[in-house]
Amino acid sequence: MKDADCVAFLQWALPRLGLRWAGYRQVRRRACKRMARRMRELGIADAAGYRARLEADPAEWRALAALCPIPISRFYRDREVFDGLGAEVLPALARRAQRLECWSAGCASGEEPYTLAVQWRLQLAARFPGVAFRVLGTDIDARLLERARAGCYGAGSLEALPAAWREQAFEQRGRLRCLRAPLRREVEFARQDLLAALPEREFDLVLCRNLAFTYFDAAGARRALERIASRLRPGGALVIGLHENLPAPAAGFEPWPGCRAVFRRSPVSTSS
Ligand SMILES: C[S@@+](CC[C@H](N)C(=O)[O-])C[C@H]1O[C@@H](n2cnc3c(N)ncnc32)[C@H](O)[C@@H]1O
């Protein structure tokens, strides 16, 4: 499929799925490849044909929606954000709790929640011996979660991790590096659509990066923020992507001093 045809198709289809074209601009090649594969499966020759199919067959929208999530991730993504979490945010949260509950919403193959588990164990746990640490990773894609539970990655995924952590947290298995079992046990995974379901417990720290505030349309981003806020304890922290903004009005959140992309939920709950 030609780039221009795919762009025109995405600009037409994404808003109908509650998604933003602007979020997809940079990753459109990936999205276009998936659409092209789907069109081949259906024996459809071009984007115009696929659009006609969607207009005639409402069920095909579900298949298209399943192709849209983009699972790009890596360990210690946006180094300065994790540096800020390690230096400021996690210690501040640990000082006020016996148990730190963290949630990575849109966790892809586990890179983000495992980064947190590794960081806590190797950088902070010794300073907070009485504090239990637990991470939940959720994603809409069951196949990604299978990979997450296996906890094995190619070298490229781990490049940004501090080298000493890489050595301590992983063991080599063939060409893959696999997370050691005690660290794997600190993270649990569940399949959840952020817009349709929520974890049952409350959290001190939520990471929602490179998902709702990039790919969802304005209404979806606002809904996602409200839903996250409903599970974030007052005084807890929300981390978004380095190039994302919170949808306005983001009442009840203030920037975490000195940390980019981190917001503190007002200590006094503002939700009704
Ligand atoms: C670009 S990845 C971001 C991964 C990680 N948060 C990071 O920043 O490295 C976005 C992830 O969100 C997941 N996703 C997309 N739509 C979702 C939804 N409605 N609910 C939960 N997860 C979703 C995708 O499957 C994908 O794994």
How many angstroms separate the alpha carbon of residue 81 from the centre of ligand 1?
A: 18
Q: Closest residue (by CA) to atom 9 of ligand 1? A: 73
The Cα 272–Cα 251 span in angstroms is 12
The Cα 63–Cα 60 span in angstroms is 5
Q: pLDDT over 90 for what percent of the chain?
A: 94
124-173: pLDDT as tens digits: 999 999 999 999 999 999 999 999 999 999 999 999 999 999 999 999 99
Res 272 pLDDT > 60: no
Strands 176-179 and 152-153: antiparallel
Q: pLDDT over 70 for what percent of the chain?
A: 98
pLDDT band with cut points at 50, 70 and 90 for residue 104: very high
Query: Which residue pairs from 150-157 have beta carbons closer than 8 angstroms and sit at least 24 positions apart in sequence?
Result: 150/178, 151/110, 151/114, 151/178, 151/179, 151/184, 152/176, 152/177, 152/178, 152/179, 153/75, 153/109, 153/111, 153/177, 153/178, 156/74, 157/73, 157/74, 157/75, 157/111
Res 108 pLDDT > 70: yes
pLDDT of residue 250: 78
Ligand 1 pocket (Cβ < 6 Å) reads 69-73, 77, 106-108, 111-112, 139-141, 144, 193-195, 209-211
Res 271 pLDDT > 80: no
167-206: pLDDT as tens digits: 999 999 999 999 999 999 999 999 999 999 999 999 999 9
Q: Closest residue (by CA) to atom 3 of ligand 1? A: 210
| Token representation of residue 64 | 């298209």
Q: Which of 67, 77, 139, 191 has most ligand 1 atoms within 8 Å of its beta carbon, as the pocket-test mutant?
A: 139
Res 255 pLDDT > 90: yes
Rounded to the nearest 10°, the torsion over CA 192, 193, 199, 203 is 120
How many angstroms separate the alpha carbon of residue 123 from the centre of ligand 1?
A: 26
pLDDT band with cut points at 50, 70 and 90 for residue 270: very low
The Cα 268–Cα 234 span in angstroms is 6
The Cα 262–Cα 4 span in angstroms is 36
How far is C-alpha 225 from the chain's CA centre? 13
pTM: 0.95
Mean pLDDT of the chain: 95
Q: Closest residue (by CA) to atom 12 of ligand 1? A: 106
pLDDT of residue 135: 98
Instruction: Please name every residue paired with 269 in a beta bridge, in sequence order, or none if there are none.
Output: none
- Closest atom of ligand 1 to CA, residue 211: 10
Edge-to-edge strands, sheet with 152-153 = 152-153, 176-179, 170-173
Strands 232-239 and 262-265: antiparallel
